[in-house]
Amino acid sequence: MGIDKDKGWSEVRQNLCAVKSRISEAAAVATRSPSDVNLIAISKAQKANLIAGAIAEGHRLFGENRVQESEDKWPALLEENSDVELHLVGPLQTNKVKRAVKLFHVIQTLDRRKLARALAREFDSQGVQLDCFIQVNIGEEPQKMGVLPEAADDFIAECRKDFQLPIIGLMCIPPATDQVGLHFGLLSEIAERNELTNISMGMSADFEIAVRFGATHIRLGTAIFGVRPPLS
Ligand SMILES: *Cc1c(COP(=O)(O)O)cnc(C)c1O
């Protein structure tokens, strides 16, 4: 009826609908309220037009993993949709902090002291305070970003005390194993003992397990937008 600007839109609409009902079922199994699970649509590598389809569908929470790519796509979308919230879920280099703080609303990948200092300075100079998640390298994988689990308590305390950053939760990207629940459980424990109420974990392949282990933010790309086109 004229609303589809692209054949991709109807697929995104159906996917969003299907994902939401799966979240509801997973929440019910865990005796949690589905409204306590925030669905972040990860739109990396997706075209602005497809993202616009998700926004037209009423979706308001998005995540991207690259600053440069986000600067190409998001200023125009945010201009037209001021109630959209954009999370950075990819690694952040200190030389891109200024640009990231200008564009994003939430930083999910704070993982080292140098970045904490850079963010605190930039918040001061731009007069803003973005909510931050600390990324934990929950599977202790050498190739992955994040503070190690045994160093997490100290790093959280440093970010709070030394830099007065608004730390609201923890984030992880666990190893792809069938033991993913162990990793999710560990992240929940670290969050709980540090009185952090937000837990960002769970992607397209494992979000139902993450919901069972207390995820408050799940990050879904493929399940919403379909297979990612290769980055050009
Ligand atoms: C790409 C990405 C996702 C989404 O992955 P899917 O498997 O497509 O759901 C989630 N989190 C991060 C940090 C990502 O980079």
The mean per-residue pLDDT over the stretch 120-130 comes to 98
pLDDT score of 159 more than 60:
yes
**Does residue 42's CB lie within 6 angstroms of at least one atom of ligand 1?**
yes
Q: pLDDT (tens digit, 9 = 90+) per residue, 10-32?
A: 999 999 999 999 999 999 999 99
- Rounded to whole angstroms, how far apart are CA atoms 229 and 68? 17
Residue 50: is its pLDDT beyond 80? Answer: yes
Strand partners for 147:
136
Counting ligand 1 atoms within 8 A of each CB, the residue from 12, 204, 219, 228 with the most, and so the one to mutate, is: 219
Note the pLDDT tens digit of each residue in 190-226.
999 999 999 999 999 999 999 999 999 999 999 999 9
- Closest atom of ligand 1 relative to the 204 alpha carbon: 9
Separation CA 145–CA 91 (nearest Å): 7
Q: What are the tokens at 176?
A: 């792809």
Strand spans (E) along 81-213:
85-88, 106-110, 131-136, 167-172, 198-200
Provide the pLDDT confidence category of residue 232 given band limits of 50, 70 and 90: low
Residue 2's pLDDT band, with cuts at 50, 70 and 90, is very low
Extended strands (E) in the chain? 38-42, 61-64, 85-88, 106-110, 131-136, 167-172, 198-200, 217-220
pLDDT at 178: 78
For ligand 1, whether the C-beta of 199 sits within 6 Å is: no
- pLDDT of res. 35: 98
* pLDDT for res 1: 41
Which pLDDT value is given to residue 230? 84
Residue 63 has a pLDDT of: 99
Confidence (pTM): 0.96
